[in-house]
Amino acid sequence: MSIAYFPEIYPDELLYSVLARFYLHSGYPIYTMIAEHLFPNTWKKPCIEFVGNLKQEILEIILRDITMEELINKHTMFPYYARFIPKADRLKALESIKNMQSGYMDLLKIPNREPRQLHYCPLCIKEDRQHYGEAYWHRIHQMAGVDVCPIHKCYLKDSGIAIDTFKSSALISIEEMELCTEVIYCNNELENQLAEYIMQIFLEDINMNNEVSVGKFLHGKLNFTKYMAKNGGCRKIQLLYNDFKEFFGDNMRYGITELWQMQCIFMDTRVNLYEICQMAVFLKIPVEEMLNMKLPERTQQMIFDETVRELRAKGLGYNKIGEMLGVSSLTVRKVGKYEQRKPKNYKIPCGSKRRDWEKIDKETLPLVKSAIAELYGDEERRPRKINRNAVCDKLGLNKCIFRCLPQCTKEIAKYSETQEQYWAREIIWAICELEREGKVLSASQIMRVTNMRKDNLIASLPHLKEIEPELAEVVESLL
């Protein structure tokens, strides 16, 4: 059946609300009848915060006067969850929603909170009815953590309609609800300020190609504040957290409540818009800067390092520089470590001679064999596992050169063994060691000397039987 009527989309209206009004105006007596026109799978519940899976015919009607990207950015909660996630995830999530797939849920990192409901503002409903003749579900009332209408500064009301992919109700228009008209204003200026700040961030378009991470951006905003060390090398996170808690007090129900949450934001492992805006309000960052995040061209650390180098060039010592800059001499020395060394007076030969690797391989082979013999151990010397790293440590060689030493590499490979085979050799040495010390032979003593567990001893028995059958029987009898 062709659709003759479809409602106009109102400003800041959830797509879910548009579909709910369509259902209300269509006159269908039951939900399943309208669901057949809207969704490929009528048994699925409609998605409240995003687009969901719509039929192509209905999608074409919706997109007559708006693009798919505009629909997602202006009539879903996508901007709330996607603004501060990494660029690659942001683009993938947008593409997933455009294709009406479900992969965006993991990419957007939607936090698991207590069950949420659709909210409404009594004063917004009154204004909607005056302007449009009916009320609708606003996006700015569904921002997770925000309990205040950012426009009227009154507390939002719960509708009883759960916002959940699996628990959401069928299409319910706000005009079908029994609404509470009581208006309770919020007297907390900070909560009102935060709600308005979050709304301004939420309603603006996302710069989809901005690669600056919010963690690095906020770290940059600590430059030359009391929350950054004088050398710009690290944050004073405990001081920042303490002042943050004092600033917001105990009257905020949501947001940052633990120091580790703040640390995770700086590390870009936590991208909750509400918490990020809390930090932005505390640090007095303008909305425009949050919308177009840029890193400083010269950080506090860069300026500190340059100052140290300039003072060093004037002949000042580390201690004196430390006194002048209010830091320890050790902090100054760390910068000095990377100072460019003065050029020597003699000429350095250019280029490098080709090394005779075949000759080096031949000359190194006896040394490798000798090192292997020592590492392999005997009744008196505790054995070590033979590998390239162990041989290099023994000879003081760089392991990378073994790529050019095939004979040496082949010699080491002859002694390749499993962990169980190595344990068998260790057990033989341990038994000899206990006999020399005159101690009673027992499984616990062997495990103590070799630092093995009982299951290690059992695992090594087949290999022990191959090299020392008699000792294998003794160990087996001890277990």
Mean pLDDT (whole number) for 416-427: 88
Query: Model's pTM, two decimal places?
Result: 0.69
CB 253 within 8 A of CB 155: no
- CA 322 – CA 329 distance, rounded (Å): 5
Predicted confidence (pLDDT) per residue in 169-226, tens digit: 689 999 999 999 999 999 999 999 999 999 999 999 999 999 999 999 999 999 999 9
CB 222 within 8 A of CB 266: no
Q: Which tokens is 149 given? A: 């209408």
The residue that leads in pLDDT, 432 or 286, is 286
Phi-psi region of 182 (alpha: psi -120 to 50; beta: other; left: phi over 0): beta
CB atoms within 10 A of CB 146: 24
Strand-pair partners of 235: 228
CB 423 within 8 A of CB 437: no
pLDDT at 440: 85
Predicted confidence band of residue 350 (pLDDT cuts 50, 70, 90): low
Predicted confidence (pLDDT) per residue in 51-93, tens digit: 888 999 999 999 999 999 999 999 999 999 999 999 999 999 9
Q: Please say if the pLDDT value at position 409 is more than 70.
A: yes
Q: Please say if the pLDDT value at position 348 is more than 90.
A: no
Mean pLDDT (whole number) for 222-240: 93
Listed by start position, the domains of the chain span: 15-189, 212-291, 300-336, 357-413, 419-478
Q: Which of 1-5, 327-331, 342-346 is the least confident region?
A: 342-346
Which span out of 44-58, 111-125, 255-269, 399-413 was modeled with the highest average pLDDT?
255-269
Mean pLDDT (whole number) for 28-42: 87
Predicted confidence band of residue 351 (pLDDT cuts 50, 70, 90): low
Q: How far is CA 14 from CA 47, 90, 103, in A?
A: 10, 20, 20
pLDDT at 345: 53
Mean pLDDT (whole number) for 454-470: 87
Backbone dihedral angles phi then psi of residue 109, each to the nearest 5 degrees: 50, 50
CB atoms within 10 A of CB 291: 15
Q: Which of 32-41, 61-70, 134-143 is the least confident region?
A: 32-41
pLDDT at 346: 47
Per-position DSSP letters for 336-387, written without gaps between them: HTTSPPPPPSSPPPPS-PPP-HHHHHHHHHHHHHHHHHHHH--SSSPP----
Q: Which tokens is 246 given? A: 């004092």
pLDDT at 401: 82
Mean pLDDT (whole number) for 347-372: 76
Q: How far is CA 161 from CA 105, 354, 361, 396, in A?
A: 20, 77, 77, 71
| Mean predicted lDDT score pLDDT of the chain | 88
Between CA 196 and CA 201, with CA 200 as vertex, the angle to 5 degrees is: 120
Predicted confidence (pLDDT) per residue in 360-396, tens digit: 888 888 888 888 888 887 666 788 888 888 888 888 8
Predicted confidence band of residue 37 (pLDDT cuts 50, 70, 90): confident
Q: Which tokens is 385 given? A: 């596992």
Predicted confidence (pLDDT) per residue in 274-330, tens digit: 999 999 999 999 999 999 999 999 999 999 999 999 999 998 888 999 899 998 888
pLDDT at 369: 87
Predicted confidence (pLDDT) per residue in 83-136, tens digit: 999 999 999 999 999 998 878 888 888 876 667 899 999 999 999 999 999 999
pLDDT at 393: 84
Q: Determine the 3-state secondary structure of 229 from DSSP.
A: coil
Strand-pair partners of 154: 185
